[in-house]
Structure formats: structure tokens, C-alpha cells
Amino acid sequence: MLYPHAAEWLEANKDERFFLYVQSVDPHTTYDVPKDYWSRYYKGNYKGQIGTAFDREEQMVVDNGKMKVTADDMAYIRALYKGEVTYQDYYLDGLIKKIDELGLADDTLIVITNDHGEELQEHGAMGHGWPLFEEQIRAPLLMSYAPIFKPGTNVKQVIEHVDLAPTILDALGVPPMKSAEGMSFLPFLEDGIGKRQHPFSAVAWTRKSMRSIRVGDWKLIAGKSSGWMYLFNLADDPGEQASLVKKGKTPPENALLPGRLCDIYLGEALATPDKAKRLQGAGQVQRYNSPEIPVDEKTRKELEALGYL
């Protein structure tokens, strides 16, 4: 396990300024951890076709339908995955405690995140890499740094991985990188919005020519040639089980405005992938203060859902 090695390195370098990057491939197939970690998520004795571990080859044959799994098999596989997560949490906790024991906690920026999640048949597939549903592309982000972040602070706006490096440098008072494609989200902690105009968006895509964009609570998944494939209001449907877009049918009236807005933002992002360049001069530096105009209740609710009000 790499976390104890990282703790040893910290012990040896505690008196120097340091940057420590620790990357683990787990939780990831193969799901293989001691029973103490996964048994808390599965009650009883499993007697199905999956062994004591679940590897990538098994994941692929389940995904393509060559191995038929029961509901009990899936409950066991999910328990193995959760056991992997718990196993990581246990050793990560040890590293964080070492930081505290060395007296470094108040002067060390700690960042915990990942690159992707895993689908366990929430939408009928296994693993990761192709669909763009939340279980695969939404990543946790935890940051701890006493001079900047108050305990319990929650940034509700949408941010992206490209925003992470600029934010780290901003928090540490280090000059920004000229070539950074993201933007620091520290202004969110100052007054909730700072100088940014919203709604805020995040973009993702796959090798199967699928694209997705999140704008406020709304999320659009589109095909490169087929157009709108799925549209969700994540506030009402966080599990993305009921798309507001149906193939060959016009979306309901309440979805047309947010869907079109997502479509516009997606087009802008694909045309200018560099986020910093895309936003330069468009809300990051200046904001348009419009006069007060009466808004009917229906339109107001739609604008609130999109993050404009």
C-alpha cells in the first residue's frame, strides 16, 4: 500500500517546503480487498458465480451480456466496490493523521479528488469510459487549508478539473500559470459569486463522439451527429432516470429553454476548449447590469433553475 510510504516521506521531509502527489489506481477493477472491508455492505454468505474478487475481464463479460448476473450477484459486486472505497479511506485517513501528528495540518493544503467514477449498472453498463452519466463523470473534491477554507464550506457552483491547479496556486499565493485553461474558484468563497457571471458550466466528452454539459442543475448529453440524446434536471432527477428528451419527439415546454441554453454553452465550449480564453472578457472581467424588468412567475422559476436569479 502506497500511503504508508507517503507517510514515511513526509516524516523525512517535514522541515522542508514540499509538494507531495499521491496517486492510487484503486478503487478500480480488480475489486479485491479483505472481507472485513466489503462484508459490512453485504449481509449473509454469498454463494453466487463471482469469486472473492471481481476483475476487469469479468466486468467486460458482464457488460457485454456474456455473463448473466442476478440481483444478488450485483449486490455482491457493489459490496466489493464499496469495500475498495472503504479500504482507500482507511489508509488515506492514516496519511492525514500523520500530517496532523507532524504538526503540519495548519500549514498544509490537502486536496482529495479523482478522475472518474464507476458505473455498476445504474444505466445498464459496467465500468467507465463511455457513457456520460453522473456516476462516471462527477468527481469528489475535498480541500483543507486552515488559512483559506472554513470547516464545512461547500462550493455549490459547477467547477471542473481544469479549475483545480489555478485554485491551488491562488490559495497558496503563488503567481498563476499563464497557460492555465481553468479559473480559480476562490471568489466563490469570498461572496458566493465574486466577479463571475453565471450560470456556470462543465463539459465532458468520450471517444464515442458523445458530449455532455452541465449548466446549473441542467445537464445535456448530445451525440456529435445525432444531436440531443438526453436532457436532465438534476435537482429533480439526480439519478438521471427520466430524460426530458425523447428520440423523435419535441421536448416539453419547460425543457426547451434550459436545453437550448445548454446547447449554446456546449457549442461555445467545443469551439473554444480553453476555458480561460473562452471566458476572458465575458463575465470574468465585466458584468452587464440590466435595468429592472418585470418577469412573470413561470419565467422567473425557469431562470432560477438555470442559475440566473
Per-residue pLDDT tens over the stretch 97-123: 999 999 999 999 999 999 999 999 999
**pLDDT score for 286:** 36
| Multiple choice CATH, 1-154, 3.40.50.10790, 3.30.70.260, 3.40.50.720, 3.40.720.10 | 3.40.720.10
How far apart are the C-alpha atoms of 116 and 139, rounded to whole Å? 6
**pLDDT score for 305:** 58
**pLDDT score for 131:** 84
Place of cell 472578457: 281
* Residues contacting 87, CB < 8 A, separation 6+: 26, 27, 33, 34, 37
* Residues contacting 64, CB < 8 A, separation 6+: none
- CB burial of 108-134 (b: ≥16 within 10 Å; e: otherwise) equals bbeeeeeeebbbbebeebbbbeebbbb
What does the pLDDT look like over 147-200, one tens digit per residue? 888 888 888 788 899 999 999 999 999 998 888 899 888 887 765 444 455 567
pLDDT tier, 302 (very low <50, low <70, confident <90, very high otherwise): low
**pLDDT score for 114:** 93
**pLDDT score for 260:** 92
Q: For the chain, what's the residue count?
A: 309
How far apart are the C-alpha atoms of 54 and 119, rounded to whole Å? 14
The DSSP 8-state label assigned to residue 107 in this structure reads: G
CB contact at 8 A, 184 and 166: yes
pLDDT tier, 250 (very low <50, low <70, confident <90, very high otherwise): confident
For the chain, domain boundaries: 1-154, 195-309
Class of domain 195-309: alpha beta
**pLDDT score for 158:** 84
How far apart are the C-alpha atoms of 62 and 236, rounded to whole Å? 30
How far apart are the C-alpha atoms of 236 and 243, rounded to whole Å? 11
